[in-house]
Amino acid sequence: MPRTLHLALHPYGVGGPGQHGLWKDPRVAKNASIDIDYYIRQAQAAEHALFDALFIVDSQFINATYPAHYLNRLEPLTLLSAVATHTRHIGLVGTASSTYNSPFNLARRFASLDLISGGRAGWNVVTSFDTGTARNFGLDEHLDYATRYGRALEFVEVARGLWDSYEDDAFPADVARGVFLDPDKLHALDHVGEHFSVAGPLNVSRSPQGQPVIFQAGVSEEGRDLAARVAEGIYAPGGTLEQAQEYYADIKRRTAAYGRNPDHIKIFLHGGPVVAATDEAARRREREIFEEDNDFDRNLALLGRSFGAYDFSVHDLDAPFPDVAHLAEKGGRTGAAKLIERARAEKLTLRQVAESVNQFRRSPFVGDPRTVADTIEQWYDAGTLDGINLAFRTEEELNLFVDGVVPLLQKRGLFRTEYTADTLRGNLGLPVPANRHARERALAAG
Amino acid sequence: MPRTLHLALHPYGVGGPGQHGLWKDPRVAKNASIDIDYYIRQAQAAEHALFDALFIVDSQFINATYPAHYLNRLEPLTLLSAVATHTRHIGLVGTASSTYNSPFNLARRFASLDLISGGRAGWNVVTSFDTGTARNFGLDEHLDYATRYGRALEFVEVARGLWDSYEDDAFPADVARGVFLDPDKLHALDHVGEHFSVAGPLNVSRSPQGQPVIFQAGVSEEGRDLAARVAEGIYAPGGTLEQAQEYYADIKRRTAAYGRNPDHIKIFLHGGPVVAATDEAARRREREIFEEDNDFDRNLALLGRSFGAYDFSVHDLDAPFPDVAHLAEKGGRTGAAKLIERARAEKLTLRQVAESVNQFRRSPFVGDPRTVADTIEQWYDAGTLDGINLAFRTEEELNLFVDGVVPLLQKRGLFRTEYTADTLRGNLGLPVPANRHARERALAAG
Ligand SMILES: Cc1cc2nc3c(=O)[nH]c(=O)nc-3n(C[C@H](O)[C@H](O)[C@H](O)COP(=O)(O)O)c2cc1C
Ligand SMILES: Cc1cc2nc3c(=O)[nH]c(=O)nc-3n(C[C@H](O)[C@H](O)[C@H](O)COP(=O)(O)O)c2cc1C
């Protein structure tokens, strides 16, 4: 099978988690995260470079300690809809929580984006990392893992049911016969489940790709199970090569175990590459970035985000890392558990843990264009990834990657030299799901 | 005070309520209602004509008997966001239900649209006409009037609170001092009310117009009260000149009674004008439209929509109009009550009522450009409207109005000859609401 790498762009605006100093960079506009023209430019640059998708993460909770980009940014679907009409090929993946949305409204918005973009919409299903989100939606406490992931699975099933409300030939719009809609091709859903009751039908028809592509982000046991059942793409955190291999193999195995084709789930690793003219310059730039972002109070707050926006400053910084495992049980148990384990194994103080949170985010893709292309190839061949979700600090660094690394990946046959499809499914090599009612009809007809 | 008429455009796609034959018109693209380019063209034509706003209505429920345009259309905010980047002056008003949304998510989406459009967003608050919507959101029954309108009021209050989360100078982004956000200018809401508990803050800052403009559509006692309390614009049904005068005076009186400036609520009447080269041709066109749209079964279904998608075909068509008042209690009591009253007063059969539903929608603005301009002027001077929400069957008929009627309105000093503002508030002559926290701070400082 030919090697096929997929690339997505994850715009960081004025600075995501850990990028505390990014907004100070003179090349970064202070309003980037709320400027639709910034996103349109990013999408057009990514499309020019033949990327598969623009990928927008999200949260429905902030406080004043949050990353600059999170404090003030555009809601993902509103954003992507504006971007859609300024692009033609690139996929548009928006993050939305299955915990704090309702299936009818969300399915409808993604279906609308899918029509507006001509079949380029993707939904990154998350169960909400930020526990404080609950209090923006009338709940005292974030739902627990079992409830959140049970709800996520049912949510996706309902959305997919709604997306099949109309068969593809439901609208003959036949003037001679006076038939706009063929009512036999409109289907209610009548879903009644543990978390949702949704009658349907949805008032939006299918796009050229049939249904939006389902992505998922979440690394717990529950998250992996959800991905294996329903996801067609994953935003995965990465880590070491060995961790990424374990994750990749595990997801593909689980997916096959559910009777699905493991090629039909594309794993995108997070990777904020650092590219420069020489390896030495890239390493220097990496150290420089580390210094720019080095802000102890913000690192402490970032650490707190993994524990329900917990305020660690109440603890003695130089005492052993406090016992806060219970605080992570709701929000991001898996990432938090790793932190706790490391603190215990290496006998770290709170200060040391806080100082190291940013190190966790180091990209494996650092060097001159050739080194970065080599490393990507090596990781691809080692079975760690199908794609990379690339994040760049500035538009210049995006261009360095596009002009320096992409041509090398193309030369090696890893990356496309032109778009072969106009839909996200087409570019990802994912099948168009047949409408379930049309399928049943075909089966019944023999 | 100078006379200032406001104009909005309400695109009908393949045909809204009663326009049963519109999709058959060869000038109407069969996919208009799901084609973003159709909406962009409509918005650009309306902007070229200096209109105040594009106005998008909505519903979260359909069945196969629904108007063609409702069956399959784009979600309003996704739609308007795409339109925003292709226009510069025109307001973008989207309908969204306060009954089947959550305040945090909806406030955020409107705030995002407001930023994307540079301060041109408006929210038409409805409580959902279609009772069947309930079953798409896990409820067996539509909420009753008191609950729906109580919820609507609290919803708007919460949204406005969230929209003030950031003071206008919350982001100094001062590199020298290392201050991106001034945390004193970020405010949680901590709202706890009868219908909602929302902690906040919202993760979106204010636009150049401060907050999205609140519109309202709903004519009951409860609807009028809500409008008088919080609305800055109204989409009103019209009716006879006398009915419109009564409504207009009543709203302005109620608004003043709440201590508000009655000029700060703009009443838009629904009006689908019929313009032609001569009065005679316009009347002929009106009859032609009536014939095109004449479809008894669809009229019967349309009638049913006012009574919770009730299937009237189970009744004897030639018996007196059945006693169905209780069915209207939840969805659209006020319009339905008018129908029932008329049926009783004129002793109409079910068939006669169904045959007449489309007559209700006749526009007062029919004739050659001069007659239409005269009638608009007459209605304006009679105190029936501040604006008109114009709906046209085809792009040609929109152009007839723009080229024929608008210049006459301009000559009479009724309508602008150029945009004087880039925000919706600016064009409507509405004040920019000061941020509540900045106001308090100013008061405290004396
Ligand atoms: C790479 C990655 C990206 C994620 N992006 C988001 C996001 O944008 N918004 C969000 O609420 N959660 C996000 N999540 C969090 C997950 O949805 C999940 O809630 C969280 O990781 C806790 O569940 P887990 O233990 O299964 O990972 C992300 C997780 C990963 C691993
Ligand atoms: C001119 C006009 C336009 C309306 N547009 C909508 C709409 O787009 N979506 C909706 O659900 N309801 C719409 N409504 C309905 C109202 O929101 C309200 O639910 C309904 O009229 C019943 O309440 P009422 O008796 O107060 O009018 C509209 C009402 C009027 C008068």
**Whether residue B376 sits in one domain with residue B256:** yes
Among A328, A355, A382, where does a domain finish? Answer: A355
- What are the tens digits of pLDDT across the range B56-70? 999 999 999 999 999
Whether B266 is in a domain gets the answer yes
**Whether residue B317 sits in one domain with residue B222:** no
**Whether residue A324 sits in one domain with residue A258:** no
Task: Using an 8 Å CB-CB cutoff, list chain B residues near A186.
Answer: 64, 71
- What are the tens digits of pLDDT across the range A125-159? 999 999 999 999 999 999 889 999 999 999 999 99
Whether B285 is in a domain gets the answer no
pLDDT at A271: 87
**Whether residue B314 sits in one domain with residue B185:** no
Residues whose CB is less than 8 angstroms from the CB of residue B26 and which lie 6 or more positions away in sequence, other chains included:
none
Whether A288 is in a domain gets the answer no
Whether B284 is in a domain gets the answer no
DSSP per position, B231-242: -SEEEE---SHH
**Whether residue A132 sits in one domain with residue A229:** yes
Whether A248 is in a domain gets the answer yes
**Whether residue A210 sits in one domain with residue A139:** yes
Say yes or no to pLDDT of A360 above 70.
Answer: no
**Whether residue B299 sits in one domain with residue B195:** no
- What are the tens digits of pLDDT across the range B81-134? 999 999 999 999 999 999 999 999 999 999 999 999 999 999 999 999 999 999
Provide the pLDDT confidence category of residue A325 given band limits of 50, 70 and 90. confident
- CA A52 centroid distance within chain: 13
**Whether residue B275 sits in one domain with residue B344:** no
B10 Cα–ligand 2 center, Å:
14
**Whether residue A304 sits in one domain with residue A194:** no
Q: Is B104 on the interface with A (CB under 8 A)?
A: yes
pLDDT at B446: 79
pLDDT at A333: 76
Task: Using an 8 Å CB-CB cutoff, list chain B residues near A183.
Answer: 64
User: What is the average pLDDT value for chain B, to the nearest integer?
Assistant: 95
- Compute the average pLDDT of residues B272-287: 96
C-alpha radius of gyration, chain A, whole number: 22
**Whether residue B183 sits in one domain with residue B243:** yes
CA distance A260 to chain B (A): 30
DSSP per position, B1-13: -----EEEE---T
Tell whether ligand 1 has an atom less than 6 A from the beta carbon of residue A131. no
B132 to A205: CB separation less than 8 angstroms, yes or no: no
CATH number where A200 lies: 3.20.20.30
**Whether residue A312 sits in one domain with residue A209:** no
Greatest Cα-to-Cα distance within chain B, rounded to the nearest angstrom: 82
The percentage of residues in chain B with a pLDDT greater than 90, rounded to a whole number, is 89
Q: Do A8 and A388 form a contact (C-beta atoms < 8 A)?
A: yes
Measured between alpha carbons, how far is B340 from B361 in angstroms, rounded to an integer? 16
Query: By residue range, what is the domain housing residue B340?
Result: 295-355
Among A318, A335, A355, where does a domain finish? Answer: A355
- Both tokens of residue B190? 């901590």
Residues whose CB is less than 8 angstroms from the CB of residue A118 and which lie 6 or more positions away in sequence, other chains included:
A88, A207, A208, A422, A423
- What are the tens digits of pLDDT across the range A64-113? 999 999 999 999 999 999 999 999 999 999 999 999 999 999 999 999 99
pLDDT at B239: 87
**Whether residue A315 sits in one domain with residue A409:** no
- Both tokens of residue A345? 């194994």
pLDDT at B162: 98
pLDDT at B394: 93
| A109 closest CB neighbour out of B63, B78, B197 | B78
Provide the pLDDT confidence category of residue A359 given band limits of 50, 70 and 90. low
Say yes or no to pLDDT of A308 above 90.
Answer: no
Whether A436 is in a domain gets the answer yes
Tell whether ligand 1 has an atom less than 6 A from the beta carbon of residue A217. yes
Report yes or no on whether pTM surpasses 0.95: yes
Whether A395 is in a domain gets the answer yes
Among B355, B388, B423, where does a domain finish? Answer: B355
pLDDT at B425: 98
Place of tokens 């036999």: A184
| From A45-49, A119-123, A236-240, B439-443, the region with the lowest mean pLDDT | A236-240
pLDDT at B356: 85
Say yes or no to pLDDT of B359 above 70.
Answer: no
Whether A286 is in a domain gets the answer no
Structurally, how many domains does chain B consist of?
2
**Three-state DSSP class for A91?**
strand
What ipTM was assigned to the predicted interfaces of this complex?
0.97
